[in-house]
Structure 1
Amino acid sequence: MKKIGIKIVFFNVLFLFVATACVGTKINKNKVILTNIPSKVENLDSITASNPPALFELLPQGNKWVDSLYNVMSFEERVGQLFMVAAYSNKDSVHFNAIDKLITENKIGGLIFFQGGPIRQAKLTNRFQSKSKIPLFIGNDAEWGLNMRLDSTTSYPWNMTLGAIQDMKLIEKVGVQLGQQGKRLGIQFNFAPVLDINTNPRNPIIGFRSFGEDKFKVTERAIAVMKGVQSQGIFATGKHFPGHGDTETDSHKGLPTVNFSKERLEQVEFYPYRKLFHEGLSSVMVAHLNVPSLEPRSNYPSSISYNIVTTILQKEMGFNGLIFTDALNMKGVSNYNIPSEINFEAFMAGNDILLFPKDIPAAIEKFKLAYSLNMFNEERLASSVKKILKFKYKAGLNSYQPIETSNLIKDLNSPKNEALQYELYENAITVLKNTASVLPIKNLDKQKIAYVKIGDENNDSFISTLKKYAEITVIADVNLDSLQVKLRPFSTVIVGYHKSDGAFKKNDLSSSELSKINFLARNNNVILDVFAKPYSLLSLNNFEEIEGLVVSYQNSAIAQVVSAELIFGAIEAKGKLPVSINNSFKVNDGLSTEKLNRLGFTTPENVGMNSTILSKIDAIANKAINAKMTPGIQVLVARKGKVIYQKSFGHHTYDKTIKVQDSDIYDVASLTKILATLPNVMLQYDQQKVNLETTLATMSPIFKDSNKANINFKDLLSHYAGLAAGIPFYKAAMDKSKLPSEVYFRKIAEQDFSKKLGDSLFIRNDFSDTIMKMIVESKIAVKKEYKYSDLTFMILKDYLEKTTGKTLDVLIQENFYRSLGMNNSSFNPLTKFDKNRIPPTETDTYFRRQLLKGYVNDLSAALEGGVSGHAGVFSNAMDVAKIMELYLQKGNYGNQQYFSEKTFEDFNTCYFCAVGNRRGVGFDKPQLGSEGPTCGCASMTSFGHTGYTGTMAWADPETQIVYVFLSNRTFPVAAENRLSKANIREEIQSIIYEAITD
C-alpha cells in the first residue's frame, strides 16, 4: 500500500477525535456517523458456509489469478472494486464521460445498468470495459426479463404470475432464458430472484414481484429460477434480505419497518434463503429495512447493520457468497446519513459490493482515512475484494471478450421466448369460480355472448381471440340501466377487467368499477376475467353472483389470447392462486376446467415447428401480390390443434384502399364442396341413409329413368361417374342479345323472383329445377375414367334439400357452423356481414355486368341464388381451419362427435388410386405421379380441396397440419390463372413441411 502523507495523517488524527466524540450522537441535520462499526472486524472468508463446499472455490489456476492480481493492486484499486455504480444507456455524453472518469480515476469494480436499450447498453459495456484495468462486473435488474429496464427486449410474466404455475420445470426455463439473454448482453449478475414472501397485500414495493405468500411455494419457484439462471453461467441474487414481504412503506421513499420477532423471521422470511443457500445461490442483496428484533438501534437500516449482514446472514446462516447492498441512493438508507458515511458503514456491516453508491471520490477518501485509523484491516478488505475477484474469474472476466452487437436484438428476442410465454400463461391463468360449469363455454349454437370492458387498457387481443371462437358482441354504455337494456338478449356476458401492466401499483378496482361489476353480475350470467394482479380483487366482496371468475394476472397480448382459449376450452385451467383474497379465496385455490378439442393458439416452436422457416411464407405471399397474381391473401397454418401462423397480406383490390384483415371473408369457390355439402352428406351416410353402393336412382327419383340411374355413391363422389365437368346453365337464361332474359330475371325482387345474384338482379325461384333437369338429361362418358365435375355436388345439394326439407344454407348452419363457432361463414354473405369485410372476386363483363362483391363468383351457383353444392360459401381462414380440424379429428370438434370415425375414414379413402384416380369420396387427395394439388410433400392420408378463386384447404393426419390459403386471384378479371401457374399455394405448403422439426 502507498504511504499516506503528513497531511493525511493530520486528518486521520482529527477524524479519530471527531469519531470518538460523536459516536451515537446526531450531527449534520440528524445524520449519524459511524454508529455501526464493531470493535473488531473478522476475516469474513473464515466464516463457515452452508453453501455446497465447492460452489465458491476455484481451481489452483483461478486462485493464482486472484492472488496475483490482488497483490499488484493499489489500495484505491482494491477499494474501488467494492463499488457498483449506476449506468444508463439512455443518457447523454455527460453521463457516459462521468462513468469513464469513475472507471479510470476511481477504479470502480462494476456497473448496474438501468434504463436504455440493449444495443446502446452493449456498446457502452464494451466502451467501459475497454477503459477498466480490471474487468467490470455488469449487473441488471431483470426479475421479469431485461424488459424490466431495457426496450426492445422480452418481458416475462411477473413472479406472482409464475407463482400460480405448478410445473417447476417451466419456471426453471424462465431462469434459463433470463440467463441466456443476460450472457448475450455481457451481464454477470441478474438481481433476481425475489425471495420476499408477500404476506401483506398492501405492500407497495414488492407485491406482484413476489412469488406469493406461502414460504414453501416461494422457495420452490425461486430455486427453479435460480437454477435456470445459474445454469447459464450468470450469477443469481436473492433479495431482499432479511425479508421485504410484510411492509407498507416503499424503501425507495422511506425506511419500512418489519415488526416480527426473530423466531418468526427464522420460520418464514429466512426460510427461502436457507434453502437457496443450500442449492448454491451465488449472491444476496440486503434490503433497507428497520427490523427491531434483529437490530436494536432505532430506525437503523438493515443494509448497514453488522448484526444482520455479518452475524446473522454470514455467521448464523453460513452464507459465503457475494453480498450486495440494495441501491444506496434509496431514501430508506440515504436519508440516514451522508453518502460517504453510508458507503463505509455498509462495508463495515459486512457487505461486499455497494450498489448504486453516491460520491465515489469522497467514499474512497473515507476508506483511506478509516484504514489509516485501523478501523478496518487488510484482512477485512481482502475478504471482500478477493471474493469479488473470485467471482470475476468464475464469470470468465479474466479473459473478457467484447460483446458482439450484430444480431443482438434478434438473439435477445428468439422465437423460444414467445413460445415459453404461451406455456407459462397456459399454466398460470386461474379459475376461481365456475358455477354450473359455465367454463368452458359450450353449445355455441345456443349461446348469445356479449363482452363488456372495465378498465382503461388495451383489450384488442382478447376481443379478437374471443371472436375466433364465437360471435361476440361488444357492448358499451356509461349508463348502467341503458347498458343492461342492451345486454338483455345475451345468454352470457364476458366482463374483462384490463389494466396496464406498467400501472401495477394502481390497478385496484375503483368504486365505480366495483359498482359496475356488481351490477352486471346481479343482472346477467357473468364471466369476470381479471387482467391484473389478484390483489385487485380484494375490494370485491360479493363473489356470489359471479358465475365464472378467471384471474389472468397480466394484460399482455399473450395473456389475453390464452385466457380467451381457456374460456372456450382450447386449454384447461391449471393455475393455482399464489395469494389469499380476504376470506373468499385462499392460497392454492384454483379449479380445473374441461378441455375441449377446439383450435387453440401458440407459437410454432411449441408444436415442433421452426418459426424462422415458417416466416418464409411472408415473402412468397408478398411475391404473389407484388406480381399482381392476386390483390390479397389470407394464410393460416395449424398443427396439433394449435394455430401457429395466421397472417393477411395485401388489399381487397389493387387500388390498395382496404387492407386485408384476418376477419375478412372470401368467396372460397369449390371449397364449398367440403365445407358445406360434404359434411351434410357424411351425416346422411353416418345415419345409414346412404352407403357407398347406393345409386342415384335410389337417392333422387328424378334420375330413375336417366342414364345416371345406376351411378353409385362411391363413383359419384370420386368423380368416377362419367359426368360432364360442367354445363353452361346461364345460356338457358339469356335472351337473343345474350343478356339475362326477362323470362328469368327481374331488377326488383318479386314473390317468384326472390333469389339474388347481383345488384338489382333477381332470378326466378324455380330456375334450380331447370338446372337439375339439364343435369339429368346431360350425357355421360362412355368410358369409365376420372373426370372432375361440379355436377356431383349440385346433385348432392338437390338430394340433401329434398331429403331434409331444408335448404343447404340452413342445413350447414344448423348442423355445423353454429356449433363449430364458424360465425364468419355463410352463403350469400351480404345478408349477414358488412360489405367492407368482403374482397371482390371479379368484374363480371359477360353476364351480370357488375363488380361481384359479396355475390358468388361462380355463375352456376349464382343462378341457384348463391346457394349451390359446389360453390357459394364465403368464409375466412380461421373458420375454414375449424372444419378442417373437425375432419382431422375424424368427426370430433369441441368434444362433440358430428359423425363417426368410420364415416370419415370411408370418405378419406382413395378407392380408385390403382387406376389413376387420386380422389377420395368428396375429398381431393395428393397427386399420383406429377399431377395434383399439393406440394408433393403431404402424406397420402392427407386430404382437402382447392378453389377457382385461388383458395386451398388441406389437412394431413400424419403431421397433424391444417393449411388454409384464401385469395381473390380472379379480381379484376378471371383470365390466366397466374397464381396456379406459379405454384404459390404449393410453394407455401412446401415451406410448411420444411418447417417441421419433429
Structure 2
Amino acid sequence: MRHIYISILSLLCTVLSFSQKNINPLLSKDVAAQEKWVDSVYNSMSLKEKVGQLYMVQVMSNLDAQSKIKVVKGIKEHHIGGIIYSNGGPYRQAKLNNELQALSKLPMLIGMDAEWGLSMRLDSTYAFPWNMTLGAIKDNKLVEQTGKQIGEHCKRLGVHFNFAPVVDINTNPKNPIIGNRSFGESRDDVTQKALAFMKGMQGSGVLANAKHFPGHGDTDQDSHKTLPTIHFDEKRIDSVELYPYKQLIKAGLSSVMVAHLNVPSLEAKENSPSSLSHHIVTDILKNQLGFQGLIFTDALTMKGAADFDETSDIDLAAFKAGNDVMLMSEDVGIGTSKIIEAYKKGDISESRLAYSVKKILQAKYKVGLHNYKPVAIADLSKDLNRLKDDVLNEELFENAITIVKNEGDLLPLRDLETKTIAYIELGDDSGIPFFNALKKFGKVHALQGDSLEDLKNKLQVYNTVIIGFHRSNANPWKAYEFSEEQLEWIDSIAETHKVILNVFVKPYALSDLKRIDNIESIVVSYQNSKTAQEKSAQILFGALPSKGHLPVSVGDYFTKFSGIYTNELKRLSYTIPERVGMSSEKLKKVDSLVNYAIKNEMTPGVQLLIARKGKVIYNKNFGKHTYEGKEKIGFDDIYDVASLTKILATLPLLMELEEQGVVSLDTKLSEILPEYKGSNKENITLKAMLSHYARLRPWEPFYYNTLDLETKKPSPKYYRAKRSAEFNIEVSKNLFLRTDYQDSIPKIIRESELLDRLKYRYSDFPYYILKEFIEYHYDRTLEQLTEAHFYEPLGANYTMYNPYHKISSKKIVPTEIDDYYRYQKVHGYVHDMGAAMQNGIGGHAGVFSNANDVAKIMQMYLQKGYYGGKRFLKPETIDKFNTCYFCSEDNRRGVGFDKPQLEDDGPTCGCISMTSFGHSGFTGTYAWADPEEEIVYVFLANRTYPRAGKNLLLRENIRTEIQRFIYEAIVD
C-alpha cells in the first residue's frame, strides 16, 4: 500500500509540476477580451453547434460539385468548426475558402498539412526541404526561419493551423511513412529542430502541431494502411519518444496530433489505437505532460483507426479519450449524433464539452477569427513564391549537403588540368541540373553504356568518375533504393577509377552498397530538387564549402552526425541577386535593354553575366545566333571575343614572365626581340606600349595586300582552296594562306612608321609583338600556352582558339558574312583578319569563349591572381598592371587593361570605381571587373553579324548603360 501511495503522490506532484510550468498556449495577449468573446459565443450556441465545433473536415480545392454539396451541408447542418484543406491550387483554395467561410455562422479554423510548405498539398506553391534535409543542418536558426516563412505562406492563404512539425524520432530506417519527414534519429537534435521550427511558425501567427503522439518513428508499418505496433516499454517511450513533446509543451506548443498506434505498454486494451486511448490522451498527454493546447486525432479515415471494431463509435471514443478535434471523420452526421446522444444520456458532461469547445474558440480568437477577413486574391501567387523563399531554400541546401567520405581529400576537386571527368547518371529521375552545373566548372562528359562492359570501355580515357544517383523528388515517400544492377555497376567502376558517389535521396540508400572502401568520396545531397543538384555540384568543385552532417546512422558505414567539412576554393558560385545585396527587380532593366538591342537589330543575340562577391547572380541568354536562324543562344555557346583576347590570353602570359623576372615593365622591345635593334621602336618599353602610349599605328589591313587588285578577292598567289605544306594557314573554310606569309606580318610592323606625336592612341600592334616574343620564348604557340597555363587549371574549357575543329559548329556563334576578304560566313574562324592570317592564333584576337569562362578569368584578376585553390598570379603583379601610369597625360589606360574614363567619354558608365578594369571587343564583347564593389560584368555579342559596319551597340551605349543598371541594382 505504501508503494502505491508513493506512486500516486509522485504522479500528482508531476501533474502539479507540469501544470505550474505549462500555461495555456491558446491564450491571446488580451486574455480578458478573449475570455469575454469565448464565453459570449459559447453561451449563444446550441448543443448541435457546440458539437459541430469539434469537427475538422477534409476539403480539396479541386473538389467536384457533389463533394462541394457535402461540404456545404457539413457547414450549414452540422456547424463544423474547421476545414483541413488537401489537394488543389492556391487560387482555387483561396476563392473556395472565402465562399465557405461566408456560409459559416462562426468562422472556421483552417488547417493544412504543410510540413515542408504549402506545396505538400497545393500546386504552384513553395517547397522547402524535407525535415530529414533540415536535420543535416547544424544552424537551427535556419530551421527557425524555415518555420517562419512556411507560417507566413500559411497565414497569407488563410490557414491557421499547420500540422507540423513532425517530431517523430526516426530510429527505424525501414519506416515507410515517416523517414524523410523526421529531423533524424537523435532525440535531442529532433527536439531542438522541432523547437526552432515551432518558434518560427508560431512567431508568424500560425499555430503549430506536434505529431504523431506518442511517437511514430520506430515502426516499419504505415498507419494509413494498418495499425502499427510500438513494442517498447513505458520507460523507453517516456525517455525517447515523449521527450520532444515535453520540451515543446514547455515552450508553448499550440496543438498535438495523436497517432493511430498500438502501444501495448501504454494501453492495456489489445489492438486499440492510441488515438482512442483515454490513458494515452488524457492521463499521459493532458495530465502527466500538462498539455493545455488543442488535441487533434490523426485522420479518422486512416486504416489505423477506421478498422476499429465499433466503427460507428470512433468519433465518440476519440472524444471520450480526451481529443478536442475529430479530424477527417468518416461521417460527421453520425459522429455528431453519437456525441449528442452521449451528452443527453449524461455519458459526456457539460464541463467536458465546454472544455474542448472553449479551447477551440480560444484558438479561433488567437488567430483573429473574432475579426475575420477573407483571403485577398490579388498578388497571391507572388506572395507565396517570394525571392526571400529562394534565398532561404538555397541557404538550407548549402548547409545540409553532406560529404561522408573523402579519401585522399579528393573533394573539393582541385588541379583540373590533371582531371578527366566523366559523369554517370543512375536512377529513374533527371540529373540534368546537376550535370549542367558540373559543366560550369570544368570539362565533364556524360557517359552512358548499353552494358557495364560497354560503359567501362568508354571510361578508359577518364581518371575521375562522378556518379549521380537521382530518384523522384515528388514527395518524401518515393522509393530511394539502388537496384542490384546499379550496385554492381558502382562497385565495378570503383575498382578501376576514382569515384565520387553523390546520392540525391535520403541517406539510408547508402546502407545497400556492397562496399565503400573502393569509393573515394561519398556525398549525400538528400533530395533531387534543382537547387539540391546545383548546390551539390558547387560543393564538389569548392565553389561552396561543405557544412552538413548526417541526421541518421547508415547501416555499418556511418554514424549519425558524420560529416566532413571542406573549405571553398574561391571559384565562382551561383545564386540570386538578393544573396549579395542586389535587387532582382531592378535588374529587370537589364533584360529590357538587351531585348531592345536585339529588337532593333544591334546584335542577333547576347550572353550576359553579372557576378558580385564571388557569386554569379545573373547569367542569361538572349536572342539567336543569327537574325534569320532558329538556333537560340545557349549557355555553352561560344563567341569570338575579339580584343578581349588581349587580357584573356596574351596579358596573363606576360604577367607570368614579369613575375619570373624575364621581363619588366621597363623592358624595351630591342631587349626581348633582337630584330627591333636599330628600328624606330627599339626603345619602346612594355609599359608604354601596353598603355597605348608609344606612337604605334592603330592597325594595319594586312589582308588587303593579299587580294587580287582587280577582283578584290583572295589572290591565287597567296591562297589555295586545299591545304598543303606551302599553303597551311587556314583563314576560313576551304581557304588557306601561304605558310611563309606569317613572317611578313612582324616585318611590316617593325618597319611601320610611328605617329607624328606622342599621345594616347589605341593599337593592336603591341599584341602582335608580344605574340612573337612569347611564342619564341616558350617555343610553343599561344594556343598551347594559354590552355596549359590558364584555361585548363581554371576549368575554362569553353575558352579556346580555332573552335571549328574542336566543337560542333552548332555551339559557335557566327560573326559576319564577309564580303571583302574571305567571301563567306565567318563561323568558327576568327573574325579579325590579322589573327586569321596567323592561323587563327593572335595575341590581339582569336580567342572564343562563353560568358561563364570569361567571368572566371576576370574573377581570378579580381581575387588578385587566386582562383580554384591555385595561385595564378601574385597580388602585386595584378596591381602593377592595373595601374594608370600616364593619367597625367590624359591617357586612362593601365598596362594591358582598359580603365575608366578620365573625363566624359570612355568605356564605362562613369559610375564605376577608378580601380576597376576590363576591355571591350570589336564583335560587341565587353568584360569589366570592379574591386571595390566586387563586381564582374561580361557581355558577349555578335553585333558584327551579318555586317560589321554600323556599331549601334556602341553608338547607343548599350553595354555601358547596362553597367549603369547593374550599379543601380546594388541595395546594400
TM range (shorter): over 0.9
When the two chains are superposed, the root-mean-square deviation of aligned CA atoms in Å is 1.5
Secondary structure in 2 matching 1:953: strand
* Distance of 2:780 and 2:875 partners within structure 1: 26
Aligned match of 2:220: 248
Aligned match of 2:937: 963
* Distance of 2:392 and 2:628 partners within structure 1: 41
Structure 2 residue corresponding to 1:593, chosen from 558, 561, 566:
566
| Gapped regions of structure 1 (runs ≥ 5) | 1-43
Aligned match of 2:19: 48
Greater shift, 192-201 or 482-491, is seen at: 482-491
Structure 2 residue corresponding to 1:991, chosen from 958, 965, 969:
965
CA positional deviation for 1:97: 2.9
* Distance of 1:66 and 1:702 partners within structure 2: 100
Secondary structure in 1 matching 2:848: strand
Asked if 2 retains the 8 angstrom alpha-carbon contact of 1:47 and 1:314, the reply is no
CA positional deviation for 1:538: 1.8
CA positional deviation for 1:338: 5.6
* Distance of 2:421 and 2:25 partners within structure 1: 61
Secondary structure in 1 matching 2:478: helix
Asked if 2 retains the 8 angstrom alpha-carbon contact of 1:730 and 1:860, the reply is yes
Give matches, 1:320-469, under 5 Å.
320-337=292-309, 340-469=312-441
Aligned match of 1:697: 670
* Distance of 2:265 and 2:896 partners within structure 1: 80
Greater shift, 204-213 or 401-410, is seen at: 401-410
CA positional deviation for 1:982: 2.2
Aligned match of 2:716: 742
Asked if 2 retains the 8 angstrom alpha-carbon contact of 1:339 and 1:363, the reply is no
Aligned match of 1:293: 265
CA positional deviation for 1:796: 1.5
Asked if 1 retains the 8 angstrom alpha-carbon contact of 2:472 and 2:478, the reply is no
* Distance of 1:842 and 1:862 partners within structure 2: 14
Greater shift, 790-799 or 81-90, is seen at: 790-799
CA positional deviation for 1:363: 1.5
* Distance of 2:103 and 2:694 partners within structure 1: 84
Structure 1 residue corresponding to 2:444, chosen from 457, 472, 495:
472
Structure 2 residue corresponding to 1:177, chosen from 140, 146, 149:
149
Q: Which residue identity lines up with residue 642 of structure 1 in the other structure?
A: K
Aligned match of 2:11: none
Give matches, 1:306-325, under 5 Å.
306-325=278-297
Q: Which residue identity lines up with residue 936 of structure 1 in the other structure?
A: G
Give matches, 1:676-687, under 5 Å.
676-687=649-660
Secondary structure in 1 matching 2:596: helix
Secondary structure in 2 matching 1:815: helix
CA positional deviation for 1:950: 1.0
* Distance of 2:850 and 2:55 partners within structure 1: 60
Asked if 2 retains the 8 angstrom alpha-carbon contact of 1:752 and 1:764, the reply is yes
Structure 2 residue corresponding to 1:65, chosen from 37, 44, 47:
37
- CA pair 208-925 structure 1, distance change in 2 beyond 3 A: same
1:954 and 2:928 are equivalent in the alignment: yes
Q: Which residue identity lines up with residue 19 of structure 2 in the other structure?
A: T
Asked if 2 retains the 8 angstrom alpha-carbon contact of 1:888 and 1:956, the reply is yes
Asked if 2 retains the 8 angstrom alpha-carbon contact of 1:50 and 1:277, the reply is no
CA positional deviation for 1:257: 0.4
Asked if 2 retains the 8 angstrom alpha-carbon contact of 1:45 and 1:383, the reply is no
Aligned match of 2:552: 579
Secondary structure in 2 matching 1:506: coil
Aligned match of 1:944: 918
Asked if 1 retains the 8 angstrom alpha-carbon contact of 2:26 and 2:366, the reply is no
Structure 2 residue corresponding to 1:841, chosen from 815, 824, 829:
815
Asked if 2 retains the 8 angstrom alpha-carbon contact of 1:339 and 1:357, the reply is no
1:612 and 2:605 are equivalent in the alignment: no
1:977 and 2:948 are equivalent in the alignment: no
Q: Which residue identity lines up with residue 307 of structure 1 in the other structure?
A: H
Greater shift, 288-297 or 679-688, is seen at: 679-688
Aligned match of 1:41: none
* Distance of 1:604 and 1:663 partners within structure 2: 22
Greater shift, 907-916 or 152-161, is seen at: 907-916
Asked if 1 retains the 8 angstrom alpha-carbon contact of 2:187 and 2:244, the reply is yes
Greater shift, 764-773 or 655-664, is seen at: 764-773
Give matches, 1:713-862, under 5 Å.
713-737=686-710, 738-862=712-836
Secondary structure in 2 matching 1:502: coil
Asked if 2 retains the 8 angstrom alpha-carbon contact of 1:153 and 1:409, the reply is yes
1:160 and 2:160 are equivalent in the alignment: no
* Distance of 1:47 and 1:911 partners within structure 2: 77
Asked if 2 retains the 8 angstrom alpha-carbon contact of 1:636 and 1:963, the reply is yes
Structure 2 residue corresponding to 1:120, chosen from 76, 81, 92:
92
| Gapped regions of structure 2 (runs ≥ 5) | 1-14
1:662 and 2:635 are equivalent in the alignment: yes
Greater shift, 501-510 or 714-723, is seen at: 501-510
CA positional deviation for 1:277: 1.1
Instruction: Output the TM-score relative to the length of structure 1.
Output: 0.94
* Distance of 1:656 and 1:389 partners within structure 2: 66
Greater shift, 465-474 or 692-701, is seen at: 692-701
* Distance of 1:766 and 1:529 partners within structure 2: 54
Give matches, 1:71-86, under 5 Å.
71-86=43-58
**Number of equivalenced pairs:** 955
C-alpha offsets along residues 29-48 of structure 1, whole Å, 9 cap, x if unaligned?
xxxxxxxxxxxxxxx99992
Aligned match of 1:28: none
Q: Which residue identity lines up with residue 416 of structure 2 in the other structure?
A: L
Q: Which residue identity lines up with residue 519 of structure 2 in the other structure?
A: I
* Distance of 1:726 and 1:224 partners within structure 2: 67
Q: Which residue identity lines up with residue 526 of structure 2 in the other structure?
A: Y
Secondary structure in 2 matching 1:972: coil
* Distance of 1:956 and 1:389 partners within structure 2: 60
Greater shift, 256-265 or 795-804, is seen at: 795-804
Secondary structure in 2 matching 1:612: coil
Secondary structure in 2 matching 1:501: coil
* Distance of 1:118 and 1:286 partners within structure 2: 28
Q: Which residue identity lines up with residue 810 of structure 1 in the other structure?
A: Q
CA positional deviation for 1:523: 2.4
* Distance of 2:919 and 2:739 partners within structure 1: 30
1:548 and 2:505 are equivalent in the alignment: no
Aligned match of 2:483: 510
Q: Which residue identity lines up with residue 575 of structure 2 in the other structure?
A: T
Q: Which residue identity lines up with residue 242 of structure 2 in the other structure?
A: F
CA positional deviation for 1:88: 0.4
Secondary structure in 2 matching 1:965: strand
Q: Which residue identity lines up with residue 71 of structure 1 in the other structure?
A: N
Q: Which residue identity lines up with residue 926 of structure 1 in the other structure?
A: P
Secondary structure in 2 matching 1:246: coil
C-alpha offsets along residues 866-924 of structure 1, whole Å, 9 cap, x if unaligned?
11111111000110010001000010111211111000001111122233211111111
Structure 1 residue corresponding to 2:619, chosen from 646, 649, 664:
646
Asked if 1 retains the 8 angstrom alpha-carbon contact of 2:511 and 2:556, the reply is no
Asked if 1 retains the 8 angstrom alpha-carbon contact of 2:226 and 2:303, the reply is yes
CA positional deviation for 1:339: 5.4
* Distance of 1:995 and 1:236 partners within structure 2: 38
CA positional deviation for 1:388: 0.9
Aligned match of 1:191: 163
Q: Which residue identity lines up with residue 448 of structure 1 in the other structure?
A: T
Instruction: Output the TM-score relative to the length of structure 2.
Output: 0.97
Asked if 1 retains the 8 angstrom alpha-carbon contact of 2:648 and 2:857, the reply is yes
* Distance of 1:497 and 1:485 partners within structure 2: 21
Aligned match of 1:220: 192
Q: Which residue identity lines up with residue 797 of structure 2 in the other structure?
A: N
Structure 1 residue corresponding to 2:492, chosen from 519, 525, 536:
519
Q: Which residue identity lines up with residue 677 of structure 1 in the other structure?
A: T
Secondary structure in 2 matching 1:275: helix
C-alpha offsets along residues 710-761 of structure 1, whole Å, 9 cap, x if unaligned?
1111111111112111111112212222221223222111113222111111
